[in-house]
Amino acid sequence: MHPAIQVCVRHEGAVVVDRAVGHARGDLPGRRFDRERAVPLTVDTLVNLFSAAEAVTAMLIHKLEEQAVLDLDDPVAEHIRGFERHGKAGITIRHVLTHRAAIAPMPAEAFDPDVLADHDEVEEIVRDLRPWADPDRDIVVAPLTTGKPVIGSHLPALVRLMGSIYEVFPE
């Protein structure tokens, strides 16, 4: 973890505060600060929210269900082409949201900031994951896929599904 914070405040649709302070990389607590290795955080720097992203993703998925764009019992493959690869055709959105998808963890290289910024590459990594068990029969909580990399590793895919974020959250 690197000491940093990003803040964006909107009021009536307009950005009134958009700031970033700290370092994205190269400034670890407890280590001597190395100015040459430190990479400043900007408002455009990707930040891994870990499990905090799950609540946002679940809310967006439920908004999509409310608008009849999807159903929780839809196979994920109906919304992410190729997801059925390696025997995942029966995994539903509900399985993912309830931590029952039983999918192997994301590989370490998937957490590289450059990879995370490439939504198509993240989707391809998700397509290539393999199931560990039967989600209807077994309870398997796999680290790093218990969250929502399957559906919500990135908001652009959800926004494509929704058409526009502003249609989901009108002013």
Q: Tell me which residue of 106, 75, 72 sits closest to 90, measured CA to CA.
A: 75
Does the domain at residues 49-168 carry the CATH identifier 3.40.190.10?
Answer: no
How is the chain split into domains, by residue range? 1-45, 49-168
Tokens matching residue 144: 């790093």
pLDDT by position in tens, the chain (length 171)? 567 889 999 998 899 999 999 888 776 677 777 788 888 999 988 776 766 777 777 888 888 899 888 899 999 888 888 889 999 999 888 888 887 788 877 787 877 777 777 778 877 888 888 888 887 777 666 554 444 444 444 344 544 444 444 444 444
- Give yes or no: 164 in active site: no
Long-range pairs of 1-7 with CB within 8 A, sequence gap ≥ 24 = 1/28, 1/29, 2/26, 2/27, 2/28, 2/41, 3/27, 3/29, 4/41, 4/47, 5/41, 6/41, 6/43, 6/45, 6/47
The model's pTM is 0.65
Q: Single out the catalytic residue among 12, 14, 51, 137.
A: 51
What is the phi/psi pair of residue 16, to 5°? -105, -25
Q: What is the pLDDT of residue 150?
A: 45
